[in-house]
């Protein structure tokens, strides 16, 4: 439990230091930006553990919600194909992010998934999305089949988690 509070304090500190203003690094996209490009060339993608594999299939939408009914991903369970992408969008209750558990994803997936996640804060941890309509796109190009468990770091205590099954 002590470790949880250390992580939460780090998240709050990171959000406080990095927040404010309208920044492209928050993961926000505009209507003109196609959601099929998971990472910009160079920059944040170069620091990822593996090379980014582009989305070659469908891009699925997942809403990030925090309201009187609780904190959740909608849908919380999704089945996709390898090569698809998932676009996470803040619709209420920010800040939100997407973090994958390294010990509960398919073997050999850490490097590929990490390379497909732009602008990470830590391994398999996407950036904090601070504003309504901010989006974060993760490519599942090149990822092995299996179940990928994920959660929202600031709202894990509220059971904001989900699964993506890659077939």
Per-domain boundaries in the chain: 2-166
- The whole-angstrom separation of Cα 118 and Cα 95 is 18
One of 64, 121, 128, 155 is an active-site residue; which one? 155
Shortest CA distance to 156 belongs to which of 29, 38, 5?
5
The domain defined by 2-166 carries CATH number 2.60.40.420: yes
In DSSP terms, 165 is beta-bridged to 79, 147
For position 4, what pLDDT does the model report?
Answer: 42
Place of tokens 């497909």: 116
pLDDT in tens, 29-83: 333 333 333 333 333 333 344 789 999 999 999 999 999 999 999 999 999 999 9
- The whole-angstrom separation of Cα 153 and Cα 160 is 8
Residue 130 has pLDDT above 60, yes or no: yes
One of 96, 117, 121, 128 is an active-site residue; which one? 96
- The whole-angstrom separation of Cα 25 and Cα 129 is 9
Place of tokens 């950036």: 127
One of 64, 117, 121, 152 is an active-site residue; which one? 152
Whether 160 sits among the annotated catalytic residues: the reply is yes
pLDDT in tens, 82-128: 999 999 999 999 999 999 999 999 999 999 999 999 999 999 999 99
For position 51, what pLDDT does the model report?
Answer: 82
One of 64, 117, 121, 160 is an active-site residue; which one? 160
């Amino acid at each position: 439990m002590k470790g949880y509070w250390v992580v939460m304090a780090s998240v709050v500190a990171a959000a406080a230091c990095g927040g404010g203003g309208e920044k492209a690094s928050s993961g926000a996209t505009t209507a003109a930006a196609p959601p099929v490009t998971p990472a910009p060339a160079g920059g944040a993608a170069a620091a990822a553990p593996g090379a980014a594999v582009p989305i070659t299939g469908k891009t699925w939408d997942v809403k990030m919600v925090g309201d009187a009914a609780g904190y959740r991903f909608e849908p919380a369970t999704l089945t996709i194909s390898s090569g698809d992408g998932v676009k996470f969008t803040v619709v209420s209750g920010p800040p939100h992010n997407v973090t994958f558990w390294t010990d509960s994803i398919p073997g050999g997936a850490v490097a590929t998934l990490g390379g497909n996640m732009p602008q990470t804060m830590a391994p398999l941890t996407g950036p904090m999305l601070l504003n309504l309509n901010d989006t974060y796109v993760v490519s599942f190009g090149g990822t092995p089949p299996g179940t990928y468990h994920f959660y929202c770091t600031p709202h894990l205590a509220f059971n904001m988690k989900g699964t993506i099954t890659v077939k």
